[in-house]
Amino acid sequence: MKNIKPALKITAKALCSIAFFAVLLSFVKTNELIDVFSRIHWGYFVGSFCLTPVMLCVSCAKWKLLLDKGRVRVPMWQLLKMYFVGYFFSNFLPSTVGGDVVRSFYAGKRINDQAYAAVSVFLERFTGILFLCVLVIVMPLFRIDLYVNPFIYLPAVGGCCALILFAFLFYAGSRDSWLNNCIIKLPGLFVSSEKAGELKVKGKIAKCLEKVTEIIVDKAKKIRSGLEIAITAMGSDKSYLVKLVALTVAFYFLTMVNVFIAFKAFSVDISFLGVCVLVPPALLVAHVPVTLLGNLGYFESIFVGYFLLIGVPGAESLAMGLLLRLKMLSLGILGLGFYLSYKSSNGAELDELKELHNHAR
């Protein structure tokens, strides 16, 4: 019975992938896509692949910055290998074990501290999402006419809500905060009735609320504990925050350049400003885990939909998305080799990763 729900979830996501590609291929005519691929600019195409390791190094440098605050420092090349393995799990295996869990697992084995490794991976992702929320709000201001479209203003509203939620969870994570105390006491309000009938109903509500509050408080504590590590590091090293922000900005700038060059690889006439405006909301929406294998099908559909807003034909956006997918698959193939190496040398089994993933959830 325990395996039924994960199997259903995987099946549902696989069907969603098929559905998204079916819609895309019905929307984009095959001859149009072939025409786009026939216009490949090989200089930009090769340049697009050359940019990938640069982006990966920036991500690893940020992770290393966070991870090195622990007891053991990990060499950059080791973190790169872990990132490759993460890409393999995210883009090739239809499982509930994600790339971040895998990176956390191997980093934890390396430094002999699974808890701190998980915090470092969380902080890397968390700071990236925070900055993405800011970009989603700010970047469309450079094309204010696009703000009338729900595809732009809804992610912006979502970004504002996410920033408020993060602040809420950070404050709620404090053991002495009034907010934390209110959340913990909330279930008790539903079991104060003296009438048996009401007590039964309110008792069920209380149990449900207890589970919800436990999740909220647990997530809040994880966010707060992770951020407190970063804040402590900033206090001891005044340049720490500057490095963290600089690497985050660099990663998103390279992400926009990556999309721009991928378009240019198919000789698409597009402005870099247009890419900078649309990539943040597209990335935020594409983060929703709808399908398998790195959101296969959904990711490409989101980019096609967004770039239609500035007049880029669907076939050209789909070609660009497929190039980005090809690059992720290439990283995953390299990751397979590193994973097999790790598995044979460290005895890291898939069951251990699944157990760690279940514990993290």
Decide which of 239 and 48 is more confident.
48
179 located within any domain: no
Least trusted range by pLDDT, from 18-32, 119-133, 136-150, 250-264 = 18-32
Instruction: Say what the pLDDT of residue 358 is.
Output: 54
184 located within any domain: no
Number of domains making up the chain: 1
- Please, which residues have CB within 8 angstroms of residue 64's CB and are 6 or more apart in sequence? 74, 76, 79
- The number of C-alpha atoms within 13 Å of 247 and in the hemisphere containing its C-beta is 21
Spatial separation of the C-alpha atoms in residues 44 and 261, rounded to whole Å:
6
The 3-class SS string of 209-251 reads: HHHHHHHHHHHHHHHHHHHHHHHHHHHHCCCHHHHHHHHHHHH
Dihedral angle at the C-alpha atoms of 228, 244, 83, 257, nearest 10 degrees? 140
Instruction: Say what the pLDDT of residue 351 is.
Output: 57
Spatial separation of the C-alpha atoms in residues 278 and 263, rounded to whole Å:
13
180 located within any domain: no
**Full domain range(s) for residue 245:** 4-162+227-360
- The number of C-alpha atoms within 13 Å of 135 and in the hemisphere containing its C-beta is 24
Mean pLDDT score of the chain: 82
Q: Which residue has the tokens 């460290």?
A: 346
pLDDT of 71 above 90? no
pLDDT of 101 above 80? yes
Instruction: Say what the pLDDT of residue 200 is.
Output: 46
| pLDDT band, residue 186 (cuts 50/70/90) | very low
- Please, which residues have CB within 8 angstroms of residue 279's CB and are 6 or more apart in sequence? 139, 255, 256, 259
Per-residue model confidence as pLDDT tens digits over 311-320: 999 999 999 9
pLDDT of 69 above 60? yes
190 located within any domain: no
67 located within any domain: yes
Spatial separation of the C-alpha atoms in residues 356 and 45, rounded to whole Å:
39
Instruction: Say what the pLDDT of residue 262 is.
Output: 98
Least trusted range by pLDDT, from 15-24, 149-158, 243-252 = 15-24
Instruction: Say what the pLDDT of residue 196 is.
Output: 45
Instruction: Say what the pLDDT of residue 293 is.
Output: 80
Provide the sign of the torsion angle of the four alpha carbons 321, 323, 325, 331, taken in this order. negative
140 located within any domain: yes
Evaluate whether 126 touches 68 at the Cβ level (below 8 Å): no
Least trusted range by pLDDT, from 173-177, 245-249, 282-286, 341-345 = 173-177
Q: Model's pTM, two decimal places?
A: 0.84
181 located within any domain: no
Nearest to 99 by CA among 108, 90, 91, 107: 90
DSSP 74-137: --HHHHHHHHHHHHHHHHH--SS--HHHHHHHHHHHHHT-HHHHHHHHHHHHHHHHHHHHHHHH
Q: What tokens does 305 get?
A: 């939909």
Least trusted range by pLDDT, from 63-72, 100-109, 127-136 = 63-72
Query: What percentage of the chain carries pLDDT values higher than 70?
Result: 73
Per-residue model confidence as pLDDT tens digits over 188-214: 544 444 444 444 445 566 566 666 666
Per-residue model confidence as pLDDT tens digits over 321-357: 999 999 999 999 999 999 888 765 555 455 566 565 5
193 located within any domain: no
Instruction: Say what the pLDDT of residue 348 is.
Output: 47
Instruction: Say what the pLDDT of residue 291 is.
Output: 83
303-to-123, 150, 270, 321 alpha-carbon distances in Å: 27, 15, 14, 7
Per-residue model confidence as pLDDT tens digits over 277-319: 999 999 999 988 888 788 888 999 999 999 999 999 999 999 9
Spatial separation of the C-alpha atoms in residues 188 and 210, rounded to whole Å:
9
